[in-house]
Each structure stands twice: as structure tokens, then as C-alpha cells.
Amino acid sequence: MASSELLQEICLNGQVPRHVAIIMDGNGRWAKQRGLPRAAGHKRGMAAVRESVKGALDAGIEILTLFAFSTENWQRPRSEVLALMGLLRLYVSKETQKLREQGCEVHVLGDLDALDASTKKSVEFIISETAGGVDLRLNLMISYSGREEILAACRQMIARAASGDLLPEEFNEALFEAALFTAGLPDPDLLIRTSDEFRLSNFMLWQVAYTELHVTSVLWPDFSREDLFRAVLDYQERDRRFGRVTVG
Ligand code: FPP
């Protein structure tokens, strides 16, 4: 089915997920299949990022969260880490203007202190240049770890309790969520993972408690707007009960 038909079906069904998160996986395998260096897969992955942003805007998704670099990814060979950081800077220089015109507000979530000075500057640039965009919030998760995010929030709560600012019995989900990178955002409704891997890989561990999962065999560099629309259509078939029973 063509992308316009898929989009039409999405609109007819109604109930577009507000927040879609994606674990972009399979860049290395895509490159290997073609006898190319891994970095070539990452580079092509950037085109898939562009496609997903366009698709999210077309479908009326409010928030798109992309797992671009995990804290564990720092352990990859130095050449690959450098290539990924270079791509991030390239993405900023090539895409910022377009994202701004598209009404995207970019946020970069993760341990940004781990970034080198020029990548950090680049990240700060895309954040400030796109501030105020109202059509799509794009979260790029970089140097991100779900467990670390939870621990950092715990540290904040413990510090407040130790200073007497918070009583243990006052500690609740709302306070905890306000201390996460995703403070103020709804949890993802849909989590997509490419390349047929059925793992969370330390991604948004708190936030995905009731998220619908969609795994596709498509490798990230091949991921298209149509693949995003198919994932949304799959989501629209789900019966979300949040642990309760369906009424009616
Ligand atoms: C996982 O594939 C992908 C990554 C670790 C990096 C994701 C980066 C991009 C899509 C490109 C740049 C993105 C932005 C936002 C600038 P993998 O390398 O683990 O693939 P494999 O499992 O096949 O080896």
C-alpha cells in the first residue's frame, strides 16, 4: 500500500499514538550485507531519521523519541564512536533549518557531559534553534541509559529527603517522573524496534511500563515512512487495558 493510503487508513481509524519511541537498530547489519563499513550503515540511518520525522508530522504524532546512542555505545571501537558523533554534528548542520521550518522542537536527553566540546555545542545549537516548535517534539536520546536515568532520579529524591525537604511517605510516581529526562511528557504509547530484536536494551525502562511494542524485521537504514505508518496501524489494532478489563 502506498504511504498516502496507509495515512488515510490511520486517519480513518483515529487514535493516533501521541508519543512514539524508536530503538533504531540494524545499521551495522545493513552495512555488512553490502560489504560496507558500519559507519555507512549509520550514515544511511540518518536518512531514516528524516523519513520518520516526516512521517510523524504527517500522521499527527506529537512526540517522537529516538534512541540514537546509549551509554553502552561508548564501549564500541573508538572509530565508530567518532563516526557516530560526527554524524550527529552533520545531522545538526544539515537538518536544523528544515526541522525548524517543519515546526519541530528538538530536545537531546542523556548524559550530555560525556560529549566532546564540539558535539555538545552542536547539540546546544539544535536545541536553541528549534525551541518553540509546536508541531512535533523530537527527543534524541544520546548517551542515554534507562537505569542511569532512574538512579539519577532516585539520587535527587534521596537528597531532598536527606535535607528534610521531602518525607518518604510523600515520595510518589508524580514526583519521581518529574525527576526523569521525560518530565512533563506522556509515556510512549508505541515503541518500535527495528531489525527483529526483541529487547528493551536499557531504553526508557520506567516510561514503557504500558507501552505497546512493535518489532519489525526492517533494518533501520531501510526504515521508511510507510514502515512507521504500518507500526501505527498495528498499534491501532491493540486493545490497551493498562491492567484493567475492557468495558463494553
Ligand atoms: C544501532 O545499530 C544504531 C546505533 C547505535 C546508532 C543510531 C544512529 C543513527 C540512526 C544515525 C544518526 C542519528 C542521528 C539522530 C543523527 P547497530 O550499529 O547496533 O546495528 P547492528 O545491531 O546491526 O550492529
Q: Is the CB of 185 under 6 A from ligand 1?
A: no
Q: Among the options 25, 189, 222, 227, which is catalytic?
A: 25
* Residue nearest (by alpha carbon) to ligand 1 atom 7: 68
**Ligand 1 site-directed mutation target among 25, 38, 144, 198, most atoms within 8 Å of CB:** 25
Closest CA to 106 of 68, 72, 70: 68
Alpha-helical segments (H) within the chain? 3-13, 27-33, 38-59, 78-101, 117-130, 146-162, 173-178, 225-236
Cell of 187: 509515556
Closest CA to 238 of 13, 51, 23, 81: 13
Sign of the CA dihedral running 205, 207, 209, 213 = negative
* Cβ–Cβ under 8 Å, residues 235 and 189: yes
The atom of ligand 1 lying closest to the CA of 67 is 7
Active site (annotated) includes residue 172 = no
Please tell me the predicted confidence (pLDDT) of residue 248: 57
Cell of 26: 540494524
Q: Is the CB of 220 under 6 A from ligand 1?
A: yes
Please tell me the predicted confidence (pLDDT) of residue 96: 98
What parts of the chain have a pLDDT lower than 70?
A: 247-248
Distance CA 218, CA 48 (A): 11
Q: Is the CB of 68 under 6 A from ligand 1?
A: yes
Active site (annotated) includes residue 202 = no
Sign of the CA dihedral running 43, 48, 49, 51 = positive
* Residue nearest (by alpha carbon) to ligand 1 atom 15: 68
Please tell me the predicted confidence (pLDDT) of residue 244: 86
Q: Is the CB of 140 under 6 A from ligand 1?
A: yes
* Residue nearest (by alpha carbon) to ligand 1 atom 22: 26
The atom of ligand 1 lying closest to the CA of 30 is 23
What DSSP assignment string belongs to 136-192? EEEEEEEEE-HHHHHHHHHHHHHHHHHTTSS-GGG--HHHHHHTSTTTTSPPPSEEE
Going along the chain from its start, the domains and CATH numbers come out as 17-234 (3.40.1180.10)
Q: Is the CB of 46 under 6 A from ligand 1?
A: yes
**How many Cβ atoms are within 10 Å of 31's Cβ, its own excluded?**
21
3 CA to centre of ligand 1 in angstroms: 24
3-state secondary structure of 234: helix
Q: Is the CB of 221 under 6 A from ligand 1?
A: no
Please tell me the predicted confidence (pLDDT) of residue 247: 61
